[in-house]
Amino acid sequence: MGYRLNLAPRILLLHLTLLSVTKWSESARVFTIVNLCDQTIWPAITPGENFSGGGFKLKPGHSIVFNAPVGWSGRIWGRTGCNFNRTGTESCETGSCGSKLKCSASGKQPVSLAEFTLASLDFYDVSLVDGYNLPMTVTPVNGTGNCNVAGCVADLRRRCPVELAVKSKGKVISCRSACDVFDSDQYCCRGDYGNPSTCRPSHYSKIFKKACPTAYSYAYDDPTSIFTCTGSDYVISFCSYKRKKPV
């Protein structure tokens, strides 16, 4: 069960620093999920047993904190344009995991995706291999090792190639991957292209990488996209641009 915060960014960072010093247990990782977008989002997490069942609503400027055990391995993404009724069913414009508020399956492409494996040495990354729907970053707090910020602060919806763009009411709401659009071995890194020697950056993945240098842009983009950290808590932020109106 998480608890909700509504703090200004600088106060939130101070809170996280203090919280990381007094962890609930040595084996825990504190995850803080922050909505810095100018719209409500519905974060989704699989597996979601430690994260409010796998899905929840998060208003602009709000955050929620969870405690995840070492050994957890999973995915976090944001859903947009959702409409849930009292039973928790309906759908979302992007990132839908079916028709449920609580996700038990991965989000529908295209979606920006944070991936974690928590162990004595944590592995984490932000992947755009399945496309892009929201700016997203992972920031480690008080860890040791290669604890860099991973992710994408750019709004790729504004620079998405026409052939990859997904629109709703005339507005680009997400950007598909070349693999999803063209379904070729070369773009999908499969068949003869199923290894790092033959699967090279494409024209499209280079667009993603230029905009978001610390996010995965294609399947074998490991050297500049996957990070490791020991004993860290994590802040997962959606968007980073200034909101139109304060909350």
At 26 the pLDDT is: 56
Task: Return the residue matching tokens 């040595």.
Answer: 26
**What is the per-residue DSSP string for 36-74?**
-SSS-BEEEEES-TTTGGGB--B-TT-EEEEEEETT-EE
At 85 the pLDDT is: 81
* Chain-centre distance for alpha carbon 161: 21
110-144 burial, b for 16+ CB within 10 Å, e for fewer?
A: bbbbbbbebeeebebbbbbbbbbbbbbbbbbbbbe
Per-residue model confidence as pLDDT tens digits over 138-174 = 999 999 999 999 999 999 999 999 999 999 999 999 9
Question: Using an 8 Å Cβ cutoff, are 205 and 132 in contact?
Answer: no
Number of H helices, E strands in the chain: 4, 15
Reference 136, options 153, 115, 120, 122; nearest CA is 153
Reference 94, options 129, 136, 133, 126; nearest CA is 133
List the chain residues with pLDDT less than 50. Answer: 1-25, 242-247
- Measured CA to CA, the distance from residue 199 to residue 179 in angstroms comes to 12
Using alpha carbons, list the distances in angstroms from residue 228 to 132, 145, 222: 23, 6, 12
At 90 the pLDDT is: 78
Domains and CATH numbers, the chain: 3-238 (2.60.110.10)
